[in-house]
Structure 1
Amino acid sequence: MCGIIARAGIGDALEELVVGLQNLEYRGYDSAGVAVRRADGPITVCKREGETDALEAALSGRALPGGTGIGHTRWSTHGAPSDANAHPHTDDSGRVAVVHNGIIRNHESLRRELREAGHRFRSETDTEVVPHLVAAALDDGADPESAFRAAVARLEGSYALAMIVDEDDAVYATRRGSPLVLGLGTDANYLASDVPAFLEFTDRVVYLEDDDVVVLEGNTYRITDVDGTPVDRPIETVEWDASDARKGVYNHFMRKEIDEQPVSLRQTLEGRIDGDRSELTAFPPGSLSDVDDVVFVACGTSYHAAMYGSTLLRRRGVPATALRANEFAHDPMPVSERTLVIAVTQSGETADTLASLRVANDLSARTLAVTNVVGSSAARGADEALFIRAGPEIGVAATKTFSSQVAALALLADRIAADGGGADAYGDETAGVGDHGGAYDPDSVRSDLESLPTAVETVVNDAGAARLATQFADAESYFFIGRGVGYPVALEGALKFKEITYEHAEGFAAGELKHGPLALVTPATVVIAVFTGRNDELTLHNVREAQSRGAPVVGVGPASATTLRETVDEYLPFPRTDPNLAGIPANVHLQLLAYHAAEIRDRAIDKPRNLAKSVTVE
């Protein structure tokens, strides 16, 4: 959702705050603002509706000397995008400035109370009650830290908050249910919603926990709990590179991150395959022997990766299902102490997934987070964590993290099945058109996992998707179909397409096409069919049904599948890959198709309308 950056230390804060906001644009885009505690005067606030470019233009030529400041890039929840609703928000006098992520659920009652006491409000946001609460406490004689704590104690909901006060060089901050990380530099310290905000200034971080209160002053910091008792949080070094958070020669982060997938996959797999077994340090042989069944909870792209993982587990004879976290959190399925609930979340901060994780913990299930971020709320809230090691992903539309999630889940499925004695649930009778039969061969999967980065690199360098994006630019609808592991890939392909092109795109299980969606198929509908080398003949039946209604069909499948090439109208090939993994290179073709289709339409590819990278409110 929204993005917070704060800085306190030696030198001027403004330039670093603006850099932080630029690095956080993927979290919010409808307005941005900064507040600086000027060395020669009071707090100065500048905020503008629109992207950070509008704020930079407003700041051009202005000198705001001062080492302490806060900034924010907004994704609207309360109040439409406007200068007035942009953060930071202040009290009547302008002596208190606050930035906030999350939702304050009791803001209406607090606003009424404050209005009755004479406070005037300028925005529609829930956030504005906070500086007024702080100002009221200051008027009653409280010092800034005590006033901040008193205000926070009145809040209900989720939040990450950072505050500065006139005539005080400190930044005061806290979090509950919304991410906030501390960055430790040499001449300054930082607070942000996400590490990329300050990655070019420091790689030393402290992950704050709920109800931590942190005070930055000069280049020092201290952390206490809600009662003021000092707490010790470990300092960690982030292994990401600052260049990962910059576009470099690319026009868009999304294309950069598509192209990075061979590297990110190698990082995911490095040291995790040892001959005839998956070598996961966190899960040595036998550590998952008490798992009877697996339930995945996730949202969006991570949900599609979870669906993929559940299919792999079922093929190994392990009962597994994938559920949307926003449903499980409020209507959970039965689980037991022998159920492993796996929360899949790129950021580790997805609100619905964290809510599901809490429910699973309350139900005494064993829990595991599969995430990209060490120190994230999901990693800390689950019993165990498996990190996908994909590196920072800035584009709102997830790309490399999906590939790394699926690869990590394939390794995990191998470990769970090996510990539990799972076996291939299907025989060769499921074989279809393609290079492989239907049986799940663990040795083949492990071998092809190791060669997967090379296969993906071949797809990244293929120009076919760009050509087809132009060829079918005038279509009215785009239907993606797949079977087995191709089904979640079809859903993911449709999600990417609709996210960044704003065109109508839907994903279906291939066999469901004739149970309703076929009524919508016309010559103006492009059907994109995912083939994996397993049950492909059945999917070809569905392709022919679409073609008989005049729809052009694009096949995405193994390079050697001659029958597929001859049947479909256009074909996007990928190198020979075990059919259980074939969805990964197939999905890269679909990412490129969506990217080029959006580029033709001149869409805001990295920041699609109405969407944010990390959904941290339910």
Structure 2
Amino acid sequence: MCGIVGIVGNSKAADILVKGLEKLEYRGYDSAGIFVADSSTDHLVKSQGRIKDLKGKIDSSVQGKIGIGHTRWATHGEPSEQNAHPHTSENGRFVLVHNGVIENYDELKKIFLESDHFYGETDTEIAVHLVEYFSKQGLDTKEAFKQAVAEIRGSYAFGLIDKEDRTVIYVAKNKSPLLIGLGEGFNVVCSDAMAMLEQTNQFVEINDGEIVIVTKDSVQIEDQTGTIIERSPYEAKIDLSDMEKGTYPYYMLKEIDEQPATMRRIISEYTDETGAVAVDQELLTSLLASDRIYIIACGTSYHAGLASKQIIEQLSQIPVEAHLSSEFGYNMPLLSQKPFFIFLSQSGETADSRQVLVKTSEMGYPSLTITNVAGSTLSREATYTMLLHAGPEIAVASTKAYTAQIAVLTVLAKAVGEAKDVLSAKSFDLPMELGIAANAMDVMINEKELISQLAIDYLSTTRNAFYIGRSEDYYVSMEAALKLKEISYIQAEGFAAGELKHGTIALVEDGTPVIGIITEAVTAPHTRGNLREVESRGAHTLVIVSEELSKEGDQIILPVVHQFLRPLVSVIPGQLIAYFATLERGYDVDKPRNLAKSVTVE
């Protein structure tokens, strides 16, 4: 959600900022803007809509060596040019961009800024006015910025420029991601390393509560007491080619196609030279000492946690609970004596999950983050990290991160089970079976023509649709329904098939699409019975079924894989159905309305 870029010391600042914002489009936004300045002139350009709309307003006169840019996802005030960032102080001296939510903005306005005139309706404008307020009290810019930050409650990542000193970008963060990139004769600021990889691969992390003074030749980090902090940069190991669509029309299709390769990469990353599963020994020791695993996640990651619950329990013989971060943080259940927390997050920046991590860490409990982004906040702050090795995921609708999370959780469960000498883990050859699953995923991905036609036949005009299944098929149904609703805007829900008669079947009428997922032998007859029940009410049914359970007339047949890995394969048709239904309806597959890739505010 929202994106920040900044640069100081490069004469091509405007071009670099715009290219950086384009790299952040995946995060979700509704307006954008840049501020660029040189020693004597400055330019503020803002636009509602897409980056292309902003680019249309930037002419050759917009030049400078310092600048900040922003993509905004509305939280306070409607999407508009007035509410777009960057924002200026009342006298125009200070210019600021902001990610996050200022919780006490109304209070600050009443205490300090009651006589100020505001251009828009955002909490961010309060922040930049507050810097000006303290500057007028006689503080220099750094101290005025620090004082403003000290008064603010909530989440923020700030980039500030003072027009009276066009050589410095002032930076601060709390709960929102922000990085400093180191260049040759220039330095950059960004909320995601991908935004500035064309300029540098050397980045410095910023911790909550720190103030950073960035010039073209230096980066000075201070804590809240003014003590200077020395911190070495890290190298962002992201291949720029992975971030491009190449010949694909949309990132989502590319990322669906990349899933088999991701499975094979996970095998490579988490096996040793003998082919045995290899996991950090300290992590294993901590897990072996636990009596219950709590998986904390949101959205697609939560569904991956649900789909992995039985796998982990059967392989490790440790009870598992999966919880929504946004619920768990404020309504924590009674915990076991020795809990272990696993946080699932594609970005590693999910705000709801982070607030749970902060609380459980304060309670002294060990934690593991499973994420796609090395060096992300959840990764840095958890006790342990396992990477997904899925490569950048750009489309808002997550696909390869979901299957990678299930695969990595299975790796972890296998390692724990082997350490405990659990029979099911010992008899499960994960590298071999994951390779078979990768091949099966390839088979399903190659069924695009069939699935495209089914999407047209079933979902071209419908307002709503249902996925149903039992056990793990229910959890996959939830994820498949989420994919469909978030990009095609069809009101889609995933239900436990046995619960239909307890209310939901009342919504079924003539032509309602009901998609059944069947991969488990013991529940297959029951789910087929539920499909017949909805058919008798007029439903238009579609069956996704494992080959060994298939019958004549079933539309999508899944290759046989090990029972622990069935969710990796059964979700592929749901991903493709959502993709082709969205194309049929004429919507943007990668950038669905109202959604953001990385949800960095609670």
Normalising by the smaller structure, the TM-score range is: over 0.9
After the TM superposition, which residues 484-563 of structure 1 pair with which residues of structure 2 at under 5 Å, given as runs? 484-535=471-522, 536-558=524-546, 560-561=547-548, 563=549
After the TM superposition, which residues 215-234 of structure 1 pair with which residues of structure 2 at under 5 Å, given as runs? 215-234=213-232
Equivalent residue for 1:250, pick from 233, 248, 251? 248
Of the structure 1 ranges 297-306 and 27-36, higher mean CA displacement relative to structure 2 is found in 27-36
Deviations 1:21-45 (A, max 9, x none): 111112232110001122332x321
Determine the structure 1 residue equivalent to 2:300: 301
The DSSP-based 3-state class of the residue aligned with 2:113 is helix
The DSSP-based 3-state class of the residue aligned with 2:124 is coil
Of the structure 1 ranges 131-140 and 290-299, higher mean CA displacement relative to structure 2 is found in 131-140
Determine the structure 1 residue equivalent to 2:455: 469
Structure 1 segments unaligned to the other structure (5+ residues): 425-439
2-structure distance, mates of 1:441, 1:510:
33
Q: Once the 2 structures are TM-superposed, how far is the Cα of residue 144 of structure 1 from its aligned partner?
A: 2.0
Determine the structure 2 residue equivalent to 1:583: 567
Equivalent residue for 1:154, pick from 151, 156, 159? 151
Q: 1:344 to 1:521 in 2, by over 3 A?
A: same
Determine the structure 1 residue equivalent to 2:262: 264
Q: Once the 2 structures are TM-superposed, how far is the Cα of residue 394 of structure 1 from its aligned partner?
A: 1.1
Determine the structure 1 residue equivalent to 2:48: 49
Q: 1:247 to 1:342 in 2, by over 3 A?
A: same
2-structure distance, mates of 1:208, 1:451:
42
2-structure distance, mates of 1:490, 1:247:
28
The DSSP-based 3-state class of the residue aligned with 2:229 is coil
After the TM superposition, which residues 293-442 of structure 1 pair with which residues of structure 2 at under 5 Å, given as runs? 293-316=292-315, 317-336=317-336, 338-422=338-422, 442=427
* Residue identity matched to 1:526: P
Q: Once the 2 structures are TM-superposed, how far is the Cα of residue 519 of structure 1 from its aligned partner?
A: 2.1
2-structure distance, mates of 1:115, 1:416:
57
Of the structure 1 ranges 549-558 and 587-596, higher mean CA displacement relative to structure 2 is found in 549-558
Aligned pair 1:2/2:2, yes or no? yes
Deviations 1:503-528 (A, max 9, x none): 11110122222322222223311121
Of the structure 1 ranges 535-544 and 239-248, higher mean CA displacement relative to structure 2 is found in 535-544
Determine the structure 1 residue equivalent to 2:68: 70
Q: 1:462 to 1:441 in 2, by over 3 A?
A: farther
Aligned pair 1:597/2:565, yes or no? no
Give the TM-score of the pair, scaled to structure 2.
Answer: 0.95
Equivalent residue for 2:124, pick from 127, 130, 154? 127
Of the structure 1 ranges 513-522 and 403-412, higher mean CA displacement relative to structure 2 is found in 513-522
Equivalent residue for 2:194, pick from 178, 196, 199? 196
**Could you tell me whether the CA contact under 8 Å between 1:288 and 1:420 is conserved in 2?**
no
CA RMSD of aligned residues (A): 2.0
Q: Once the 2 structures are TM-superposed, how far is the Cα of residue 352 of structure 1 from its aligned partner?
A: 0.9
Equivalent residue for 2:443, pick from 458, 462, 474? 458
After the TM superposition, which residues 99-138 of structure 1 pair with which residues of structure 2 at under 5 Å, given as runs? 99-116=97-114, 118-138=115-135
Q: 1:545 to 1:576 in 2, by over 3 A?
A: same
Q: 1:540 to 1:277 in 2, by over 3 A?
A: farther
1-structure distance, mates of 2:133, 2:363:
42
1-structure distance, mates of 2:463, 2:155:
41
Q: Once the 2 structures are TM-superposed, how far is the Cα of residue 445 of structure 1 from its aligned partner?
A: 4.4
**Could you tell me whether the CA contact under 8 Å between 2:286 and 2:366 is conserved in 1?**
no
Q: Once the 2 structures are TM-superposed, how far is the Cα of residue 122 of structure 1 from its aligned partner?
A: 1.0
* Residue identity matched to 2:252: M
**Could you tell me whether the CA contact under 8 Å between 2:295 and 2:323 is conserved in 1?**
yes
* Residue identity matched to 1:18: V
Equivalent residue for 1:449, pick from 434, 454, 457? 434
Deviations 1:84-138 (A, max 9, x none): 110000012211100001111111121123434x422111100111221222232
Determine the structure 2 residue equivalent to 1:279: 278
**Could you tell me whether the CA contact under 8 Å between 2:508 and 2:539 is conserved in 1?**
yes
Deviations 1:166-200 (A, max 9, x none): 13211110110111112222242211111211122
2-structure distance, mates of 1:281, 1:328:
27
Of the structure 1 ranges 404-413 and 454-463, higher mean CA displacement relative to structure 2 is found in 454-463
After the TM superposition, which residues 13-24 of structure 1 pair with which residues of structure 2 at under 5 Å, given as runs? 13-24=13-24
Deviations 1:261-298 (A, max 9, x none): 12222223323135685212365764532121111111
Determine the structure 2 residue equivalent to 1:80: 78
Q: 1:142 to 1:301 in 2, by over 3 A?
A: same
Give the TM-score of the pair, scaled to structure 1.
Answer: 0.92
2-structure distance, mates of 1:553, 1:396:
28
Q: Once the 2 structures are TM-superposed, how far is the Cα of residue 409 of structure 1 from its aligned partner?
A: 0.7
Percent sequence identity is: 38
1-structure distance, mates of 2:473, 2:232:
42
The DSSP-based 3-state class of the residue aligned with 1:66 is coil
**Could you tell me whether the CA contact under 8 Å between 2:5 and 2:189 is conserved in 1?**
yes
Q: 1:266 to 1:67 in 2, by over 3 A?
A: farther
Structure 2 segments unaligned to the other structure (5+ residues): none
